[in-house]
Amino acid sequence: MTAIAISQPGGPAVLKPERRSTPQAGPDEILIRVRAAGVNRPDVAQRNGSYPPPPGASDLPGLEVAGEVAAIGENVGRWRIGDHVCALTPGGGYAEYVKVHASHVLPIPAGFTFSEAAAVPETYFTVWHNVFERGGLQAGETLLVHGGSSGIGTTAIQLATARGARVIATAGTADKCGICLKLGAERAVNYREEDFVAVVKEVTEGKGANVILDMVGGDYVDRNYIAAAEEGRIVQIAVQGGAVASANFARLMAKRLVHTGSTLRPRSDEFKGKVAAALEAEVWPLLASRRVAPVMDMIYPLKEAWRAHERLESGESIGKVVLDVA
């Protein structure tokens, strides 16, 4: 098969097509003929050499795919050859074939193309677990989403709105703020021109945000503590602004805040399977009805994965960047 490998740590140009042996599905796995693969920030971190794959995972980048079932392990009962599916993978998605634990596989939502379906797993698994399971967002509460125009951000805005929450989102340009509003955010904050803390206090009449989804870190940590409501939950999913921060923990204590965080890729097969089951029950009906849907940015051929990474790192993308593998 053709796959995109990381020839050495570095910039987008280190992503090189090469021939690899087609993987073989284990007893609890299925083999997917990949038709499209999502491109995500962790792929960029792996390419840079700062996010190695977990033990036993493919060294190829790619954490989400959509395609057709090509082979089935002996313990797999649900899927059949030819089924159209999408899946979360621990790596290996930038290839014509990838093997995946069967519990991490979901049917392609009704009416979705392969490209749209490939843009779903990584962000929806991440948002569901962090916003609703770990963050405990409830209808009527306020969610503050940093990076509102990203794949994660556009997903969080739509899901929170669909489930009855108020959303405030931050983004870096007027156009990106406009997208956030179009997707359902009550207020979008251009962080280059406005102070998100002040806006949150204004919109919530001084109460603050009940849940904050943060992928920035750095000096946002202390500002999140100020913006949070009493009993607020702050969920850290990335630290693009810095992994080390100075914060006033008196605020955390006084407001009885919870500051938690998680990474998805190293979690167990059992954990990911439980998230997949929750998504199919709670979110797949919303996708099928198009109440929520991935925001599509650009689609590139597999062999031009380097261009997809350039796009993602440019800061100009809105929503999801996808590779066409067909």
Beta carbons of 302 and 325 less than 8 angstroms apart: yes
Q: What pLDDT does residue 74 have?
A: 97
Give the pLDDT confidence score for residue 69 in this predicted structure.
Answer: 98
Check whether 17 has a pLDDT greater than 90.
yes
- Nearest-angstrom CA–CA distance, 240 and 74: 42
pLDDT at residue 164 is higher than 90: yes
What CA–CA distance (Å, rounded) separates 91 from 42?
A: 10
DSSP of 301-321, one letter per residue? EGGGHHHHHHHHHHT---BEE
What is the pTM (predicted TM-score) of this model?
0.95
User: What's the pLDDT score for residue 175?
Assistant: 96
Please answer whether residues 190 and 184 qualify as being in contact, where contact means their C-beta atoms are separated by less than 8 angstroms.
no
Query: Cα–Cα distance between 126 and 220 in angstroms, integer?
Result: 20
Nearest-CA neighbor of 179 among 3, 2, 316?
316
For residue 260, CA distances in Å to 115, 143, 263 come to: 32, 15, 11
- Average of per-residue pLDDT across 128-132: 98
Give 304's pLDDT tier (boundaries 50, 70, 90).
very high
Best CA proximity match to 63, nearest among 36, 90, 85: 90
- Report how far residue 73's alpha carbon sits from residue 79's, in angstroms, rounded to the nearest whole number: 10
Over the stretch 197-254, which tens digit does the pLDDT of each residue have?
999 999 999 999 999 999 999 999 999 999 999 999 999 999 999 999 999 999 999 9
Task: Please count the helices (runs of H) and the strands (runs of E) in the chain.
Answer: 11, 15
Please, which pLDDT band fits residue 137 given cuts at 50, 70 and 90? very high
CA distance 224 to 196: 9
Q: d(Cα 221, Cα 82) in Å, to the nearest integer?
A: 47
- The pLDDT score that the predictor gives to residue 107 is 98
pLDDT for res 326? 81
Mean predicted confidence (pLDDT) in 246-266: 95
- Three-class secondary structure of residue 273 per DSSP: helix
Backbone angles phi, psi at 5, to 5 degrees: -105, 160
Tens digit of each residue's pLDDT (9 = 90 or more) over 41-78: 999 999 999 999 999 999 999 999 999 999 999 999 99
Chain-centre distance for alpha carbon 218: 20
Per-residue pLDDT, 285? 98
- Nearest residue to 45 via CA among 261, 312, 318, 324: 312
- Is 90 exceeded by the pLDDT of residue 14? yes
Average pLDDT score, the chain: 97
